[in-house]
Amino acid sequence: MRLEGAAVAAPKGKVNRMRLALSDITERKRSEEDLRASEKRLQDLSSQLLNLQEIEGKAIANEIHDGLLSDLAAVNYSLESQIMTLEKASHPVAPDLQKLLKIHQRTMKEARRIMDRLRPSILDDLGLIPAMNGLSREFQSLYSKMQLECEIEVQEDEIPDGIKVVIFRVAQEAMNNAARHGRGSFAKLSLAKSSDRIEFMAQDNGQGFDLKNSKKGVGLESMRERVEISGGKFMIESEVGKGTKIQAIWESS
């Protein structure tokens, strides 16, 4: 229940009576509590869905590694052995097999790239910081015309396990966007920790876009969803011709 009162003044300004109103706000309070509970359930379900996606990606990556890549490696070994024998005999088919070997090795490289996109083994084996450094090296080798700076000012054990995969996926998507859409000459990744927060940032000096009038792509919404579901705050700044800046902040509990 809620009691509200208001003074009623007489013509000469003296208060001669009070107006009281008693209202029952039980239903409103119950509705607010139900809404908060519903939002919490939705957040939990979304978090579980993202976790299941990561688990499935890891399972598929393991299958590629243990099955497809294992068979491709066996074929690669056999081809190399046959080529070596044929080259010693100066067989005319050896150059053609060399071309075939190069195609085969590109296929193996592509299979590894797909496997790492699904779930980079380095993230599970060594941690987020080595995975971030590996992502930076891969990006620089693929997009050599764009200078990339990676600045990490946090220790591995200072990063909560629950947000490591989130940070990596956001970094991965941000770098893809910078390369495919930004078209700039410089990009930067940074990860730092202060006394009360973990802060991730990705920025580039590319072409940017109009935040108010541009349709947000699936990649940006995916980043926002991952960050907010994990309890973080997601921010993006962009302006046509002035690049894009993405930030994600997780407050310490």
Distance CA 154, CA 151 (A): 10
Q: What is the pLDDT of residue 187?
A: 92
d(C-alpha 151, C-alpha 164), whole Å: 16
Q: What would the two tokens of residue 183 be?
A: 């078209």
pLDDT recorded at residue 141: 86
Write down the pLDDT at residue 43. Answer: 61
Those residues of the chain that have pLDDT short of 50 are none
Q: For 174, what's the count of Cα atoms within 13 Å in the CB-facing half-sphere? A: 36
81: tokens are: 């052995």
* Residue boundaries of the structural domains of the chain: 46-118, 127-251
Q: To the nearest 10°, report the CA torsion of 190, 195, 196, 199.
A: 0
pLDDT at res. 188: 92
- 171, with CB counted inside 10 A (0-12, 13-18, 19+), is buried
Task: Count CA atoms closer than 13 A to 225's CA, side-chain side.
Answer: 18
CA-CA distance, 228 to 231, in Å (whole number)? 5
Residue 21's DSSP bridge partners are 4
Q: Could you tell me the CA-to-CA distances from 140 to 7, 146, 173 in Å, in that order?
A: 72, 7, 15
Q: What is the model's pLDDT at position 200?
A: 96
Just give the CATH number of 127-251.
3.30.565.10
The model's pLDDT over 131-170, given as tens digits with 9 standing for 90+, comes to: 999 889 988 888 888 899 999 999 999 998 889 989 998 9
Q: How many helices (H) and strands (E) does the chain have?
A: 7, 7
pTM over 0.85: no
Q: What is residue 73's three-state secondary structure? A: helix
Collapsed DSSP state (helix, strand, coil) of residue 15:
strand
Give the Cα-Cα-Cα angle 69, 56, 192 (nearest 5 degrees): 95
pLDDT recorded at residue 16? 57
Residue 154: helix, strand or coil by DSSP?
Answer: coil
Cβ atoms < 10 Å from Cβ of 218: 8
Instruction: Give pLDDT, residue 190.
Output: 94
